[in-house]
Amino acid sequence: MIILLLLSLYTYLVQAVDISISCINNKHISLTFEDGPHENTINLVNILDSYNIKGTFFINMIHVTRNEVNKNLVKYMYDNGHIIGSHGYSHGAMEKLNEFNQKRELFDNELLFRSLLNIRPYFYRPPYFSYNDEIINLVNNFGYNIVVSNLNTDDWKASNESEILDKYTSQLVQNNFGYITIQHDYQTLNNAVLAQMIEIGLQLNYSFVPLDECLNTDKRYYNDNTYGPNLLDGI
C-alpha cells in the first residue's frame, strides 16, 4: 500500500511539470523503445505488426545518418503507423551539456526528421532520463511532450529473458496503473520476450494502445514548417 501511494504521488508530481509518465486509462499499456534505429529494430517492429500494435520508437538521428538501411527502416515504421519520437541527436545526457549543446541535441534531430519524414515529433524522451527544471522548460519551449516511463524492464542490463519478464509481470499484477513501458532496440532478448509481454498483458485484460491514445492527445507530430527556437535565443 505504501509503495502504491508513493507511486501515485510521484505520478502526480511528474505530470504537474509537463512530463508524461503513465497512460491515463489504468487498463492501457503503451509499448515504447529507444536508442535506435538498430539492426534489431525490425524484429521488434515485425512482432508488433503481428499483433497489430503500434509502438513508439524514440530515436537518435545520429544512427539514421550512418546508412540507408536505417533511413529506410524509419520510413517503414512511420508509414506503418508506429510513432517516431525524438531521443536527441546523439544520446547526450542533457544535464551534462551546456544550454547551447542542449539545443543542438533537439534542433539537429529536428532538421533530420524534417528532411527524412517532413515532420517534427511531438514526443521526446530525454536520454538517461537526464533532466531538471531548466531542461523541462527548454524542451517544452521546443513544443515537445516529455515522455518517461512507469514500467522500466531494465532490459539493458538483463542477462536472460526471465529477468525482463519477471520485472514486467510483477508490476502489472501488483499495481493498478496504465503503463508506459521502456525497452531498448538493441537488446536482442526483447525478440523473445516481447510477444510474451503482450500475451501476459492481454491475459490481465490490458489493451495495448499507441502513445497518443495512452495520453489522450490527438497529436503525434507537427506537420507545418516550423522548427524549435533559434539556437542562440537566450544565450
Q: Is residue 15 pLDDT above 60, yes or no?
A: no
- Lowest average pLDDT, out of 17-26, 159-168, 185-194, goes to 17-26
Domains by residue range for the chain, with CATH: 2-160+173-215 (3.20.20.370)
Q: How many CA atoms lie within 13 A of 6 on its CB side?
A: 3
Over the stretch 164-214, which tens digit does the pLDDT of each residue have? 999 999 999 888 899 999 999 999 999 999 999 999 999 999 999 999 999
Whole-model pTM?
0.89
Closest CA to 77 of 12, 121, 133, 23: 121
Over the stretch 96-118, which tens digit does the pLDDT of each residue have? 999 999 999 999 999 999 999 99
Quick one: pLDDT at residue 159?
95
Band (17; pLDDT cuts 50, 70, 90): very low
Band (8; pLDDT cuts 50, 70, 90): very low
The DSSP 8-state label assigned to residue 33 in this structure reads: E
C-alpha cell at 136: 523541462
Q: Is residue 225 pLDDT above 80, yes or no?
A: no
Average pLDDT over residues 10-26: 68
Average pLDDT over residues 76-92: 96
Quick one: pLDDT at residue 66?
85
CB 202 within 8 A of CB 194: no
